[in-house]
Amino acid sequence: MAAISSSATHTAAAGQAVPLLRCFVDGAWVETGRSFDNINPVNGRIVSRVCEADRQTVDAAIQAARRASRGEWGRQSAALRAAALRRIADGIEQRFDDFVAAEVADTGRPVHQARSLDVARGIANFRSFADLIATAGSEMFEGTAADGSKVLNYVARKPLGVVGVISPWNLPLLLLTWKVAPALAMGNCVVAKPSEETPSSATLLAEVIEAAGLPAGAFNLVHGFGPDSAGQFLSTSPHIDAITFTGESRTGSTIMKAAAEGVKEVSFELGGKNAAVVFADADFDAAVAGVLRSSFTNSGQVCLCSERVYVERPIFERFVAALAAGCEQLRVDYPDAPGVDMGPLVSHTHRDKVLSYYALAREEGATVVCGGGVPSFGDERDQGAYVQPTIITGLSDNARCMREEIFGPVCHVSPFDTEDEAVARVNDSAYGLAGCVWTTNLSRAHRVAAQFETGIVWVNTWFTRDLRTPFGGAKLSGLGREGGRYSLDFYSEISNICIKV
Ligand SMILES: O=C(O)C(=O)/C=C/C=C/O
């Protein structure tokens, strides 16, 4: 278990002492009257107890953030804010193993993934936005006034004020820092509500931010759930200036309704039903390896994962066979097992949801090519939330399994005959987050990628990220773009100042 120094001690029902994770409000660690269990999905055991923030705690955090936004943090120079962000990045790096242990304890993910993706990106997110604000200039427009004198217009970016951050359980530290870093970079103060499933790395981040010496109230952490809990109290508060949320589309819609009341800025990265298209001219082995990654990484719990795979008919049978062989070889195991490819899902509740789709697929007439159930280990992992990586075929595009986000280690493979057919089927979705194209035909790559109604398209790769690029989804998959200057635009109030010279 990670060394969470800010925690108190809680005596669990079975009598064992576990850490009590606390909220961080106005520079102080706060216990609340209610708490909930944090469970390790590898074996179903309690990892820690977590203080649930009530409305008063959330309101206190928002008020603290407001005071800090009117204080030094909101006024200090970009150079000083960049230096603070670099101290946070260094702080995460110095406690790298603690953050890895926290992510693994909460999610059961492979240790190698927590190291190479989750914690590495937590550091990179802070460093990339520190670099950006240290070098970002602004725009100036020269003009002429009615009397012929010269006029200068320049664009000024000012902090929004108080930003609510609600982050998900699938990539806990990556997605929390993807929002907190630019929010702080632009001089805002933050109230963050991580998922109740993954409180540990967020708590460590608050410890690092405290140690980095940001003013009290610049960053606040409130643990809890969504409805009737911290998530709702935060997103419906009239005293925040913006809300950024990553999670399910219907939750996004609820938050947007609340934000409408006070015309708050919102940035959403929501659900997806992403497609990968494999043309017969693709590099076959690369496409098989790529679709295995895009379907089963993080047990399929990445909003960018491919749950729909369309394969050009001449290679369809061979591709399904090769994909199934790769799927059968995936090592589903403990987080620290040598060569582990996949851990459990994040919780038993989520496992029940994914298994309900495995059952639905069969009801809808799918052929289960591999997987489709629960692995049997014969040890404590049988009390965990493991499922088998699964490949299905044979469904029509109208099946629920082809239209609804499952968010597990499962993909459906369909044949197609023409490029136009593939594009039409990819776009026949209420979602529009990400897509993948596998082809060695350069003009086809550009032509097809341009037609995807998604915010992101990868060609001959997947989840390759340049943090300067716009990231976000179309349709039900989100609202707005974050990344590089797109984040600077969202996390600031932009003014034009016009001066008659
Ligand atoms: O890579 C990113 O910056 C990002 O936002 C990933 C999101 C994945 C969601 O499941």
- Residue extents of the structural domains in the chain: 20-270+477-500, 274-459
**175 Cα nearest atom in ligand 1:** 5
**Dist CA 230 CA 437 (whole Å):** 40
**Dist CA 211 CA 313 (whole Å):** 57
Q: What burial class does residue 417 get, using C-beta atoms within 10 Å of its C-beta: 0-12 exposed, 13-18 middle, 19+ buried?
A: exposed
Q: Which CATH architecture has domain 274-459?
A: 3-Layer(aba) Sandwich (3.40)
186 alpha carbon – ligand 1 mean position (Å) = 20
Q: How far is CA 355 from CA 342, 374, 386, 442, in A?
A: 16, 8, 10, 39
Is the ipTM, as predicted for this complex, more than 0.90?
Answer: yes
129 in contact with ligand 1, CB cutoff 6 A: no
pLDDT value at residue 417: 98
Catalytic residue among 197, 269, 312, 405: 269
449 in contact with ligand 1, CB cutoff 6 A: no
Q: Tell me the DSSP string of 322-388.
A: HHHHHHHT--B--TTSTT--B---S-HHHHHHHHHHHHHHHHTT-EEEE--S----SSGGGGS----
3-class DSSP state for residue 75? Answer: helix
**Dist CA 422 CA 405 (whole Å):** 19
433 in contact with ligand 1, CB cutoff 6 A: no
Q: Tell me the DSSP string of 181-211.
A: HHHHHTT-EEEEE--TT--HHHHHHHHHHHH
**Dist CA 179 CA 192 (whole Å):** 9
175 alpha carbon – ligand 1 mean position (Å) = 6
Structure tokens at 43: 């074996």
Q: What is the residue whose two structure tokens read 């280690």?
A: 409
| C-beta of residue 472 within 8 angstroms of C-beta of residue 455 | yes
**467 Cα nearest atom in ligand 1:** 3
171 in contact with ligand 1, CB cutoff 6 A: yes
pLDDT value at residue 2: 54
Provide the edge-to-edge strand list for the sheet that holds 45-52.
Answer: 8-11, 17-21, 45-52, 34-40
What residue owns the CA closest to ligand 1's atom 9? Answer: 303
Which residues are within 8 A (CB) of 93 and not within 5 positions of it... i.e. 6 or more apart?
123
Question: Is the domain defined by 20-270+477-500 classed in CATH 3.40.605.10?
Answer: yes
| C-beta of residue 143 within 8 angstroms of C-beta of residue 153 | yes
**463 Cα nearest atom in ligand 1:** 1
471 in contact with ligand 1, CB cutoff 6 A: yes
Q: What is the residue whose two structure tokens read 């919780």?
A: 347
**465 Cα nearest atom in ligand 1:** 1
The angle, 0 to 180 degrees and rounded to 10, between the axes of the packed helices 284-296 and 316-328 is 50
Question: Are 20-270+477-500 and 274-459 the same fold in CATH?
Answer: no
Q: What burial class does residue 55 get, using C-beta atoms within 10 Å of its C-beta: 0-12 exposed, 13-18 middle, 19+ buried?
A: middle
Closest to 314 in 3D by CA, of 414, 394, 415, 412: 415
pLDDT value at residue 442: 97
Active site residue 493: no
384 alpha carbon – ligand 1 mean position (Å) = 26
Closest to 492 in 3D by CA, of 214, 183, 255, 234: 183
- CA dihedral defined by 477, 480, 486, 492, rounded to 10 degrees? -140
Q: Tell me the DSSP string of 32-64.
A: -SEEEEEEETTTTEEEEEEEEP-HHHHHHHHHH
pLDDT value at residue 15: 87
212 in contact with ligand 1, CB cutoff 6 A: no
Which residues are within 8 A (CB) of 347 and not within 5 positions of it... i.e. 6 or more apart?
39, 41, 169, 197, 385
173 in contact with ligand 1, CB cutoff 6 A: no
190 in contact with ligand 1, CB cutoff 6 A: no
Specify the DSSP class assigned to residue 227. Answer: T
Closest to 239 in 3D by CA, of 58, 434, 466: 58
What residue owns the CA closest to ligand 1's atom 1? Answer: 465
Q: Give every residue of the chain whose pLDDT is below 70, as ranges.
A: 1-2
What residue owns the CA closest to ligand 1's atom 3? Answer: 178
Q: What burial class does residue 379 get, using C-beta atoms within 10 Å of its C-beta: 0-12 exposed, 13-18 middle, 19+ buried?
A: exposed
